[in-house]
Amino acid sequence: MSDFVPTAPIAHRPRAVSGVDRLAALDGVPDLRALLEDSYTDAFLVQRDGRTVAEYYRPGFAPDDRHLLMSVSKSLCGILVGTLVDDGLIDVAQPMAVYVPELNGSAYGDASVQQVLDMTVAVDYDEDYRNPQSHVQAQDRIAGWRRRRDTDPADTYEFLRGLQASGPHGQRFQYCSADTDALAWLVEAVTGERYADVLAARVWERLGCAQEATITVDAAGFAFANGGISCAAPDLARVGQLMLGGGEIDGRRIVSERWVRQTMAGGDTNAARGLLIQREYPRVSYRNQWWSTGNDRGNVYAVGIHGQYIWLDPLSGTVIVKFSSAPDPVSAAGNQIHARLFREVCGVLER
């Protein structure tokens, strides 16, 4: 990404990294390699109880190569906000404008922080990735991912201030990438620092990651929190370990167990209606920028378009990281193949 778009570093604490292509531990998964190839896999890493049991990297991709996370980036923002809540810098019941007065008069001004975290803000926003007139493509242009138009806002700050409410907040789940960028602005407002620097200090460095991550930034230096992070697969797996560890990793407390427990419990299943993913998980919900399947295994996950995942299986202590380059942003077929893959991998590890 840094070859094409301006990026800011997310600093790290160096750690040794190693990895080979090995899938023997998952021999019980039917047609595993075909599943990986059919889902356009770039990297696939499976850890159980913090130990790597299987991994796969397509030719030309290595364990220490960075990959764009897309909306998995949102879930990292959720953890970061949790650390600020833990320290008393944010009260999730307060309206966003209490912390970011510039959002007064926008869709976010009177929305509570928790409503933004759970994406129950009623906002006039089109998330159609293929529509050139959509808000999400406008955000891409502002972020530098697409060619700008003369009529585009100068930066993400101006874009967020211009978004308007479409009804009362808190009644329905509405997936909206701009919500995460509003949270990033909140992070900057309460810390007085740039988002990338706060994420580095409060999350990435404490995780003990082996590689430096990056995040794309717009003309104003605003980090593209909703989808712009790139990192290596083993480092992303540590995010999964953190969540399964109740907010602690290698004896270091990063975010409170209360925040993790709340996130893993999921959100309001009645708020999510008409979602494509409900074909696989009818009781799906969203809480603190993470998805909950609502199934019997308690699977929780972070997901980005074109096939990026952190999959958490609390029953078996399994973390799965998957990087992909799927041609479609989202599809029923893609959801189905990943649901099968994750289900069968966790099933094999329990035998």
User: pLDDT by residue (tens digit) across 80-129?
Assistant: 999 999 999 999 999 999 999 999 999 999 999 999 999 999 999 999 99
Task: Report whether 326 contacts 12 (CB < 8 A).
Answer: no
The pLDDT of residue 315 is 95
In whole angstroms, give the CA distance from residue 79 to residue 162: 27
DSSP 243-258: HHTTSEETTEE-S-HH
Report pLDDT digits (tens) over 300-338.
999 999 999 999 999 999 999 999 999 999 999 999 999
Half-sphere exposure of 340 (CA within 13 A, CB side): 15
In whole angstroms, give the CA distance from residue 291 to residue 303: 8
Report pLDDT digits (tens) over 28-51.
999 999 999 999 999 999 999 999
- Nearest CA-CA partner of 290 in 70, 69, 46, 78: 78
Confidence class for position 13, pLDDT limits 50, 70, 90 = low
According to DSSP, the β-strands at 41-48 and 318-324 are antiparallel
Q: What angle do CA 44, 46, 52 make, to 5 degrees?
A: 120
The pLDDT of residue 249 is 97
Cα torsion 128, 134, 137, 142: sign: negative
Instruction: Give the pLDDT mean for 158-177.
Output: 98
The pLDDT of residue 290 is 98
The pLDDT of residue 50 is 93
The pLDDT of residue 162 is 98
For the cut 90, the answer to whether the pLDDT of residue 16 exceeds it is no
DSSP 60-113: T--TT--EE-TTHHHHHHHHHHHHHHHTTS--TTSBHHHH-GGGTTSTTTTSBH
The pLDDT of residue 19 is 52
Instruction: Give the pLDDT mean for 247-254.
Output: 97
2 counts as catalytic: no
In angstroms and rounded to an integer, the radius of gyration of the C-alpha atoms of the chain is 19
Please give the share of the chain, as a percent, with pLDDT higher than 70.
Answer: 97
Close Cβ partners of 64 (under 8 Å, ≥ 6 residues apart): 17, 19, 210, 211, 232, 234
Q: 113 — phi, psi (to 5°)?
A: -60, -40
Q: 249 — phi, psi (to 5°)?
A: -145, 135
Instruction: Give the pLDDT mean for 160-184.
Output: 98
Confidence class for position 350, pLDDT limits 50, 70, 90 = confident
Residue with tokens 């990338």: 196
Cα torsion 219, 224, 230, 234: sign: positive
In whole angstroms, give the CA distance from residue 190 to residue 187: 6
- Nearest CA-CA partner of 225 in 181, 291, 188, 182: 181
Residue 19 has a CB neighbour count (10 Å cut-off) of: 17
- Burial tier of 212 (Cβ tally within 10 Å: 0-12, 13-18, 19+): middle
Instruction: Give the global pTM.
Output: 0.95
Q: How many residues does the chain have?
A: 351
The pLDDT of residue 213 is 97
Instruction: Give the pLDDT mean for 154-175.
Output: 98
Residue type, 188: E
What distances in angstroms separate CA 22 from CA 28, 58, 288, 316, one per listed residue?
14, 12, 34, 20
Confidence class for position 22, pLDDT limits 50, 70, 90 = confident
The pLDDT of residue 1 is 85
| DSSP-assigned beta bridge partners for residue 290 | 287
For the cut 70, the answer to whether the pLDDT of residue 20 exceeds it is no
According to DSSP, the β-strands at 229-231 and 67-68 are antiparallel
Q: Active site residue: 71, 106, 177, 230, which one?
A: 71
Q: Which domains does the chain have, with CATH numbers?
A: 7-106+194-350 (3.40.710.10)
Instruction: Give the pLDDT mean for 283-312.
Output: 98
Task: Report whether 137 contacts 146 (CB < 8 A).
Answer: yes
Instruction: Give the pLDDT mean for 174-185.
Output: 98
